[in-house]
Amino acid sequence: MTDQDEEILNPFADEVEAKGTVLADRLSTVGDARIGLFSNTKKNADHFLRKVGERLEADHAAEVSEVVYKDVATSAADEAVYEQLREYDAVLIAYGDCGSCSSWTMHDAFQLEEAGVPTVVFCTEEFTTLCQYEAENQGVPGLPIVEIDHPIADLSPEAVASERVTDDVLTAVTEALTNDAGTLQELYKGKYTDAASSELA
Amino acid sequence: MGRRVYGVCMATVSSPDGLPVVDPTRERVDRFLEAADVAGEDSLGPFPLSERSATMETLAANAVMAGCEASYFPVVLAALNATLEPEFNLYGTLATTEPHWPMVVVNGPIVDDLDINGGANAFGQGSKPNATIGRALTFVYMNVAGATPGPTDKATHGGPHKFGLCVAENEAESPWEPLHVERGFDEDDSTVTVLTTEAPHNVNDHVADSAAGVLTTAADTMSVLGANTTYLSERAEPCLALSPEHAATIARDGYSKDDVKRFVYDHARVSHEELRDQGMYDTRDGSRPSHVPASDLPDDAGVPICRSPADPVVFVAGGAGRHSLFLSSFGDSRAVTRRIQRIR
């Protein structure tokens, strides 16, 4: 066999087959819903969530929880935290603003969606591609990832509230909580990964 | 028939790390599979971040591309398998903005069989198995696990160790039991131990003539405000690679390896006052992140860089010279040791 005839093997893995995971049923309305706020402990995540919660209470009469924390951003939440969050009609998770915390934030969201709790993940613009890559490869391409400006860690709590919790963010949250799964898949599939698709394995 | 290609044209796709690669031909891949005594269609299961499973054939293709010899492939497989253990936290490690990445430490008879360097310049250039085993892991993390620098491997800087880092323990010049024996394996077993690490930091001590002297310098090097282990200390296993000379000086004072670890635990500390509001610990405006182990301590208390004296990972590596290395862990990760299953 000459060099020209040699079979060259593929070093890439086959694309993952869709697991058939679907998004949890969304809310009929944000009004009167019990919304859980879930911080992954990243700097300012709790201030961000509280402001979003204030807006949901003011604009929609939603019932918003105190911030629930997991132990550390670089791992999954404990089961006891998931159990606590499963009591809510929907959960808002903040936020991905680094690599490992983004991955584990998505993991937490997948656990809640599989348990039937609709979730919204907040992620700064630098990390939305990573988050959505994981969502698409774990069978949840429509999981709503609401993009916020980066960076956020070095802002004051007041600046987080005024500069990051924008009307556009609130609109995206409301849509993410109330649109049906098919609509969310249309809205989010490839939203952050398409531009990088030539680079992604 | 011309050059047959699956899914990708090797001639037009850049190599994962930018350096030339060896073509993964059928003949080469089959030799790798035979050397590891594995079936081409088997797999190790899914890899984060992509959750894709690769066949042994695909993993072998990556090891071929990285420049491995067939005899290295069992080491590559054992190391990949070890990093898939949940406590290793590959999911976080591949995506993180930190510079941390898996490192492989090899113990046992296979070190001599494959001539893996644990002596002079073990962490540097000059040894084919050292250079290519770690490189094979990096290729798999990029091609299979989907860790693409920029979009999904979010490292702010990365580091030269991400081209691949594999060393042997210098068992012959260690005064203590080898790492794999300490971790429950027989001396005749060949093993890999995988750890998350950033690029090594030198521990220079040319004057210490006692265990306490050497270890005081090491402990100081290991307790800095910028290291992950200073904050993510609950699960951290900070790693110290002692040179044979430093190890001999320490052992001469009757220190066991447990004594070394205890010294590190006791002395590699940052005061609570110094730690507060730095790095990953913020108390200023009522927001997390917090530091659970530190929060109940008085200001002048020293906060350890790991949870217990059993947590530091200590092994001997390197050649002549009065230097050791601090290998700072990702923090939220535990080292995993696995037996290398097959050697031909």
Q: What tens digit of pLDDT does each residue of A136-184 get?
A: 999 899 999 999 999 999 999 999 999 999 999 999 999 999 999 999 9
Closest of A141, A200, A144 to residue A27, by C-alpha: A144
Q: Which of residues 12-41 of A touch B (CB under 8 A)?
A: 12-16, 39, 41
- The answer to whether the CB atoms of B288 and A99 lie below 8 A apart is no
- A195: nearest CA in chain B? B151
The yes-or-no verdict on residue B13 having pLDDT over 50 is no
**What letter would DSSP give residue A28?**
S
Question: Per-residue pLDDT tens for B57-88?
Answer: 999 999 999 999 999 999 999 999 999 999 99
- The answer to whether the CB atoms of B50 and A137 lie below 8 A apart is yes
- The count of other CB atoms within 10 Å of the CB of residue B58 is 24
- A15: nearest CA in chain B? B52
- The count of other CB atoms within 10 Å of the CB of residue B214 is 28
The yes-or-no verdict on residue B191 having pLDDT over 50 is yes
Per-state percent for chain A, helix, strand, coil, to nearest 5: 40, 15, 45
The yes-or-no verdict on residue B182 having pLDDT over 70 is yes
Determine the distance from the C-alpha atom of residue B197 to the mean position of all C-alpha atoms in its chain, rounded to a whole number.
5
A140 and B CB contact within 8 Å: no
Distance in angstroms (rounded) separating the CA atoms of residues B162 and B94: 10
Task: Report chain B's mean pLDDT, rounded to a whole number.
Answer: 94
pLDDT at residue B292 in the model: 77
Sequence-separated contacts (24+) of B124-131 with Cβ below 8 Å:
B128/B67, B128/B69, B129/B68, B129/B69, B129/B72, B129/B75, B129/B166, B130/B166, B130/B167, B130/B168, B131/B67, B131/B164, B131/B166
Contacts of A130 in chain B (CB under 8 A): 49, 95, 151-152, 154
pLDDT at residue A19 in the model: 63
Query: Structure pTM?
Result: 0.95
Q: How close is the nearest chain A Cα to the Cα of B273, in Å?
A: 20
Q: How close is the nearest chain B Cα to the Cα of A29, in Å?
A: 30
- The answer to whether the CB atoms of A45 and B95 lie below 8 A apart is no
Q: Which of residues 154-173 of A touch B (CB under 8 A)?
A: 156-157
Burial B228-237 (b: 16+ CB within 10 A, else e): bbbbbbbbbb
Question: Per-residue pLDDT tens for B80-128?
Answer: 999 999 999 999 999 999 999 999 999 999 999 999 999 999 999 999 9
∠ CA A70-A76-A80 to the nearest 5 degrees? 55
Residue among A39, A75, A138 whose CB faces B332 most closely:
A75
B337 and A CB contact within 8 Å: no
Name residues of chain A where pLDDT drops below 50: 1-2
B292 and A CB contact within 8 Å: yes
| A117-126, B288-297, B322-331: the lowest-pLDDT one | B288-297
Q: How close is the nearest chain A Cα to the Cα of B263, in Å?
A: 27
**What letter would DSSP give residue B281?**
B
pLDDT at residue B3 in the model: 39
Q: How confident is the model at residue B272 (pLDDT cuts 50, 70, 90)?
A: very high
B97 and A CB contact within 8 Å: yes
**What Cα–Cα distance (Å) separates residue B209 from each residue in B219, B245, B266, B295, B315?**
16, 10, 20, 37, 20
Question: Per-residue pLDDT tens for B133-168?
Answer: 999 999 999 999 999 999 999 999 999 999 999 999
Contacts of A5 in chain B (CB under 8 A): 1-4
Tokens of residue A94, six digits: 């903040």
- The answer to whether the CB atoms of B65 and A5 lie below 8 A apart is no
- The answer to whether the CB atoms of A8 and B232 lie below 8 A apart is no
Query: Percent of chain B scored above 90 by pLDDT?
Result: 90
pLDDT at residue A3 in the model: 55
Interface test with B, best of A6, A8, A104, A107 (most B CBs within 10 A): A8
- B90: nearest CA in chain A? A100
Distance in angstroms (rounded) separating the CA atoms of residues B111 and B132: 14
Question: Per-residue pLDDT tens for B224-253?
Answer: 999 999 999 999 999 999 999 999 999 999
Tokens of residue B202, six digits: 């030198």
At a CB cut-off of 8 Å and minimum separation 6, what does B131 contact? B67, B125, B164, B166
- The answer to whether the CB atoms of B91 and A107 lie below 8 A apart is yes
- The answer to whether the CB atoms of A157 and B290 lie below 8 A apart is no
Q: Which of residues 138-167 of B touch A (CB under 8 A)?
A: 139, 142-148, 150-155
Query: Percent of chain B scored above 70 by pLDDT?
Result: 95
Residue among B4, B10, B50 whose CB faces A16 most closely:
B50
Tokens of residue A154, six digits: 């070095």
Read off the amino acid at residue A29.
Answer: T
Distance in angstroms (rounded) separating the CA atoms of residues A40 and B21: 40
Contacts of A9 in chain B (CB under 8 A): 6, 24-26, 29, 57-58, 60-61
A132 and B CB contact within 8 Å: no
Q: How confident is the model at residue B290 (pLDDT cuts 50, 70, 90)?
A: confident
Q: Are B134 and A189 in contact (CB under 8 A)?
A: no
Q: Are B217 and B265 in contact (CB under 8 A)?
A: no
* Averaged pLDDT for residues B302-315: 97
pLDDT at residue B295 in the model: 83
- The answer to whether the CB atoms of A11 and B143 lie below 8 A apart is yes
Per-state percent for chain B, helix, strand, coil, to nearest 5: 35, 15, 50
CB pairs under 8 A between A and B: 180
